[in-house]
């Protein structure tokens, strides 16, 4: 049986990590617009691409279960009566990849308590949205994904990233007739026809930003230099990133966009930055939330964003039901 014809699971090849819901809610984290490579392949199970491999994740009680699939060039052999489907990878390494991706070394429940003590509004929202943490994504994938978020919404961004990966990324495997591709390399996005191909894929004005940033990084700091910005001082990292085509002042420890601006004005009653999002407004709003929530202010903001996102989805669903009735 080929991989694409294989059943959806092979339980003996699943592994797990300790992960209580207070420390992470998989469904909230993977649907909150941080990454656009995951889809709910069955109720409670999420399949996506991470580290050049295809994974399925499932949370059950205090455990995070996962399996990793073989790439197509590894499909020749089968073992234990299970179709050539799950990769024989080092368990220590796969555990490390997941722990790093979800930043499981950060004690989230303690952060929630601190944010709640400082902010009554956060405390009210947090009780319904526990376990929202920030992903530690590959810098190249994260950068180009968020260039695509300009004037966009999650479902459309997800579709754009899928087209980008299919057109420029290496094919990894096929599950239930669905192909999965790696995120494109910088070299794949720097070709002379990259911008035209991206426009044909529906990227519009973002096509110029994606191809332009790919060339700027390839000719400048490179992939390694981009990764090193993780440990650079905030001001330096911001300066370098904002010099790239399509990257603006939204690149902050608290990502200030019109959504966060409205939260600051409407929910916190702060009149910062005047009536529009000027560079001064970006700085002032970011400073306000960093002063309120502390060093991991971006994590606290992710909780409020997730709450607003789900509130909006629920409202849209109610409107849709009313329309149908």
Catalytic residue ranges: 250
The residue among 122, 36, 101 whose CA lies nearest residue 297 is: 122
The residue among 3, 97, 86 whose CA lies nearest residue 51 is: 97
Element (H, E) at 88: none
Q: Which residue matches tokens 């929530």?
A: 293
Determine the Cα–Cα distance for residues 73 and 172; give it in Å rounded to an integer: 8
**Alpha carbon of 263 to those of 85, 258, 267, 291: distances in Å?**
45, 9, 5, 16
Task: Look up residue 59 and give its two tokens.
Answer: 């949370």
Determine the Cα–Cα distance for residues 260 and 263; give it in Å rounded to an integer: 5
What backbone phi and psi angles, to 5 degrees, belong to 208? -65, -40
**Alpha carbon of 189 to those of 160, 198, 211, 218, 302: distances in Å?**
15, 9, 6, 10, 30
Q: Which residues pair with 18 in a beta bridge?
A: 63
Determine the Cα–Cα distance for residues 80 and 84; give it in Å rounded to an integer: 10
- What size, in residues, is the chain? 325
């Amino acid at each position: 049986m080929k991989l694409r014809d294989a059943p959806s699971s092979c339980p003996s090849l699943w592994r797990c990590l300790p992960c209580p819901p207070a420390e992470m809610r998989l469904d909230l984290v993977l649907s909150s617009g941080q990454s656009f490579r995951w889809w709910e392949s069955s109720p409670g199970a999420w399949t996506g691409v991470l580290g050049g491999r295809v994974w399925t994740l499932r949370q059950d009680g205090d455990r995070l279960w996962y399996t990793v699939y073989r790439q197509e060039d590894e499909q020749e052999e089968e073992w234990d009566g299970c179709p050539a489907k799950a990769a024989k990878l080092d368990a220590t390494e796969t555990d490390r990849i997941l722990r790093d991706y979800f930043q499981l070394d950060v004690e989230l429940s303690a952060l929630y308590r601190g944010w709640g003590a400082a902010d009554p509004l956060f405390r009210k929202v947090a009780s319904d949205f526990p376990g929202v943490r920030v992903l530690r994504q590959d810098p190249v994938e994260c950068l180009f994904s968020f260039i695509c978020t300009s004037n966009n919404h999650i479902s459309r961004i997800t579709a754009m990233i899928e087209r980008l990966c299919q057109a420029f990324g290496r094919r990894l495997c096929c599950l239930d007739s669905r192909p999965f591709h790696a995120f494109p390399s910088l070299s794949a996005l720097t070709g002379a026809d990259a911008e035209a191909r991206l426009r044909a894929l529906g990227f519009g004005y973002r096509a110029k930003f994606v191809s332009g940033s790919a060339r700027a990084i390839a000719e400048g700091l490179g992939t390694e230099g981009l990764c090193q910005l993780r440990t650079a001082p905030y001001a330096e990292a911001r300066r370098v990133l904002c010099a790239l085509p399509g990257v603006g002042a939204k690149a902050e420890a608290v990502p200030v966009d019109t959504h966060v601006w409205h939260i600051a004005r409407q929910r916190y009653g702060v009149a910062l930055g005047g009536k529009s999002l000027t560079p001064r407004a970006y700085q002032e709003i970011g400073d306000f939330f960093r002063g309120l929530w502390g060093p991991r202010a971006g994590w606290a903001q992710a909780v409020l964003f997730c709450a607003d996102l789900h509130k909006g989805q629920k409202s849209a669903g109610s409107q849709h039901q009313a329309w149908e009735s």
